[in-house]
């Protein structure tokens, strides 16, 4: 009971995503942070206000954290399909070059 609960807590904290999701997350934060940097500079330069630049950059960064860090469903669209376990398929079966070893 306690173990199940702890497992759930650990899963929630770890917030794992699948491999395609990891690639997507990396692309997303790169694009978002560069875009927020560019927008922040242009906004600050146009308004001649260095504070606007700072706050725009921080807002873009906060948005990036929000998009990338939680395990959103679109990061888990390609779950890994594992091979069936030994217990179900009955005994260990290892093949080397097409020949059955065990």
Partner 1 sequence: MHSATVRIQNVFGFFTTVATVVAVIIALSAFTSPQAPSASLKLRNVQVAKGRPHYYSVKREEYAHVRFDLDADISSLFNWNTKQVFLYIVATYPSSKASEPPTQAIVWDAILPSALAPWHQNQYIHPHPAPLKNGKRVRTSSPSYSRSKRPGIIKLSNQKPKYQITDHTGLIAKRENATLELRWNVQPWVGPLTWMNRRDYGVWKALKGGLSKPFNFPEVIGAKPADMGTVKGGEGNRGKPA
**Sign of the CA dihedral 36, 37, 38, 39?**
positive
For residues 98 and 72, what is the distance between their CA atoms, to the nearest angstrom?
A: 41
> Residue 89 has what DSSP assignment?
H
* Rg of the chain over all Cα atoms, to the nearest angstrom: 23
Contact status: 70 vs partner 1 (CB under 8 A) = yes
Q: How many helices (H) and strands (E) does the chain have?
A: 4, 2
Shortest distance, position 12 Cβ to partner 1, whole Å: 9
Q: 45 or 74, CB closer to partner 1?
A: 45
Expressed in angstroms, the distance from the first to the final Cα of the chain is 39
Only segment of 1-9, 67-75, 79-87, 89-97 that touches partner 1 (CB under 8 A): 67-75
String marking each residue 73-102 x if it binds partner 1 according to CB under 8 A: ------------------------------
Binding site for partner 1 (CB under 8 A): 13-17, 22, 25-26, 29-30, 33-34, 36-37, 40-41, 44-45, 48-51, 53, 57, 61, 64-65, 68-71
């Amino acid at each position: 009971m306690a173990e199940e609960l702890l497992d759930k807590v650990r899963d929630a904290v770890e917030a794992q995503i699948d491999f395609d999701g990891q690639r997507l997350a990396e692309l997303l934060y790169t694009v978002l942070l560069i875009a927020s940097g560019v927008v922040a500079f242009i906004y600050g330069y146009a308004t001649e206000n260095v504070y606007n630049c700072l706050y725009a950059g921080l807002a873009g960064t906060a948005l990036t954290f929000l998009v990338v860090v939680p395990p959103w469903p679109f990061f888990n669209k390609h779950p890994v399909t594992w091979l069936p376990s030994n217990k179900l398929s009955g005994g260990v079966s290892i093949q080397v070059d097409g020949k059955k070893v065990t």
